């Protein structure tokens, strides 16, 4: 195979961004698009080089039956996201899925089994793990500069546009909260219904890469539902998870979609070890910080770490999310065309998805401690089979 014939499902803003990238990305040819909302079809095709050569679907099964599609780019936002990924693998397609990977444990397992049985590539397209700062911190940890890692913090705390929580049924037309009285027929979107903590794969992906570990135990808490910020939003404002890893590191992770904040990066992270610590900037005026216990340092030092990589190729520049969007498409392509092992394989992806799903199950059960399975095959599970 010299190029990957890729079909994309989910033509929202993120899907349309992916489409434009894939249309110009060496090694890909866009052959199909799919979204049940037909009003999005024409505007999605319009910026592409050869729109007339691209098949258009509003039905997922018909899209998956297209022999001209080798791989599925999955940029939907819905509860069934994980099931759709598994269905594509079961249909013999490679899958590059947007974050988060899945919203149920059943779907996590279904993805793993479908990837193992089909031998197809599954990648969770979490891009921040490829950033310059994550690479630098991973190297510091690997070289032992921070000592034994004892504590990590991560958060995604931001305020999504209040227009994104309701839409007119069967359309892409969003209804701002201020206009809800005029549209009693408006229905909640998935952002309105999704437990915020389900978005943790975006934090766990870089953190678990930095410390080369996996989560084994999770407990979590939540503020009340509905939101204090917008009474019309059914989800709580903040959900917080406490986790423990296989290597005995404790983690504190939080997600909010509604919390007002000044302009800044919604992601924040802190890694602490017995010999030092690193953390990201807290505000636009702030800088990332490093402290090393055995380096005669009386305080944290500011370090000019950025998401942008100093070694990024020209094609990465301007690809989105501080150039890191490039790497999710390059690594998926290289895994399929050149058998380059994925850095973020299906097991590592589920290491980030399952703790998030179990955190919301913990909340539902009054903060019960949940145990996270290891999805890798081993003495208790043969490849392609559920654990005994
Ligand atoms: N990696 C990142 O930093 C990043 C940034 C933004 C969005 N995202 C992810 O990208 C995805 C899409 O985000 P968006 O903002 O474009 O969402 P969106 O809601 O604007 O668009 C999603 C599209 O998927 C379609 N869709 C939803 N459910 C479907 C189903 N069951 N079958 C077929 N189509 C379905 C919808 O009709 C819609 O057109 C989400 O998973 C989101 O988490 C990731």
Token readout for 154 is 């991560």
Angle between helix 346-364 and 105-118 (nearest 10)? 160
Could you tell me if the CB of 101 is within 6 A of ligand 1?
no
pLDDT band for 161, please (50, 70, 90 cuts).
Answer: confident
Angle between helix 132-142 and 201-211 (nearest 10)? 40
How far is CA 319 from each of CA 80, 100, 144, 323, rounded to the nearest angstrom?
Answer: 28, 20, 33, 5
Calpha distance 180→230 (Å, rounded): 12
Write the residue with the smallest CA distance to atom 7 of ligand 1.
14
How far is CA 136 from each of CA 76, 109, 140, rounded to the nearest angstrom?
Answer: 32, 32, 6
DSSP annotation of 378: B
Q: In this predicted model, what pLDDT tens digit does every residue of 168-216 receive, in sequence order?
A: 999 999 999 999 999 999 999 999 999 999 999 999 999 999 999 999 9
Could you tell me if the CB of 325 is within 6 A of ligand 1?
no
3-state secondary structure of 79: coil
pLDDT at residue 388 in the model: 81
Pocket perturbation via mutation, ligand 1, pick of 40, 42, 77 by most ligand atoms within 8 A of CB? 77
Write the residue with the smallest CA distance to atom 21 of ligand 1.
12
pLDDT at residue 262 in the model: 93
Beta-carbon contacts of residue 378 (< 8 Å; ≥ 6 apart): none
CB 45 within 8 A of CB 54: yes
Find the 305 Cα to ligand 1 centroid distance in Å. Answer: 30
Calpha distance 191→14 (Å, rounded): 14
Domains of the chain by start residue, with CATH:
4-127+325-345 (3.40.50.720), 129-310 (3.30.360.10)
Look at the block and give the residue holding tokens 């994309």.
Answer: 8
Write the residue with the smallest CA distance to atom 11 of ligand 1.
75
pLDDT at residue 189 in the model: 96
């Amino acid at each position: 195979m010299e190029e990957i014939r890729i079909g994309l499902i989910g033509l929202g803003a993120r899907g349309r961004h992916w489409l434009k990238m894939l249309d110009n990305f060496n090694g890909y040819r866009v052959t199909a698009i799919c979204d049940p909302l037909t009003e999005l079809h024409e505007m999605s095709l319009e910026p592409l080089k050869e729109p007339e050569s691209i098949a258009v679907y509003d039905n997922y099964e018909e899209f998956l039956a297209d022999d001209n599609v080798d791989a599925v780019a999955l940029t939907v936002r819905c509860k069934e996201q994980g099931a759709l990924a598994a269905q594509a693998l079961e249909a013999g397609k490679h899958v590059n899925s947007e974050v988060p990977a899945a919203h149920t444990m059943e779907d996590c397992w279904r993805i793993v089994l479908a990837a193992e049985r089909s031998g197809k590539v599954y990648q969770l397209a979490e891009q921040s793990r490829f950033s310059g700062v994550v690479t630098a911190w991973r190297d510091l940890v690997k070289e032992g500069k921070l000592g034994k890692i004892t504590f990590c913090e991560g958060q995604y705390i931001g305020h999504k546009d209040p227009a994104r929580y309701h839409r007119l049924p069967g359309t892409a037309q969003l209804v701002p909260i201020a206009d809800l009285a005029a549209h009693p027929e408006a229905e909640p979107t998935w952002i309105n219904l999704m437990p915020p903590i389900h978005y943790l794969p975006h934090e766990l992906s870089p953190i678990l890469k930095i410390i080369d570990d996996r989560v084994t135990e999770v407990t979590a808490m939540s503020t009340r539902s509905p939101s204090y910020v917008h009474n019309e939003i059914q989800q709580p404002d903040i959900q917080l998870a406490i986790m423990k890893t296989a290597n005995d590191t404790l983690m504190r992770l939080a997600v909010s979609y509604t919390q007002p904040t000044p302009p800044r990066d919604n992601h924040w992270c802190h890694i602490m070890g017995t010999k030092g610590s690193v953390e990201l900037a807290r505000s636009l005026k702030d800088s990332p910080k490093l402290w090393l216990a055995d380096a005669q340092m009386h305080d944290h030092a500011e370090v000019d770490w950025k998401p942008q990589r100093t070694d990024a190729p020209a094609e990465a520049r301007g690809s989105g999310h501080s150039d890191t969007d490039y790497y999710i498409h390059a690594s998926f392509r290289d895994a399929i065309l050149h058998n380059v092992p994925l850095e973020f394989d299906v097991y590592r992806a589920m290491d980030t998805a399952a703790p998030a799903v179990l955190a919301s199950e913990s909340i539902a059960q009054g903060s019960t401690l949940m145990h996270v399975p290891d999805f890798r095959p081993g003495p208790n599970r043969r490849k392609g089979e559920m654990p005994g």
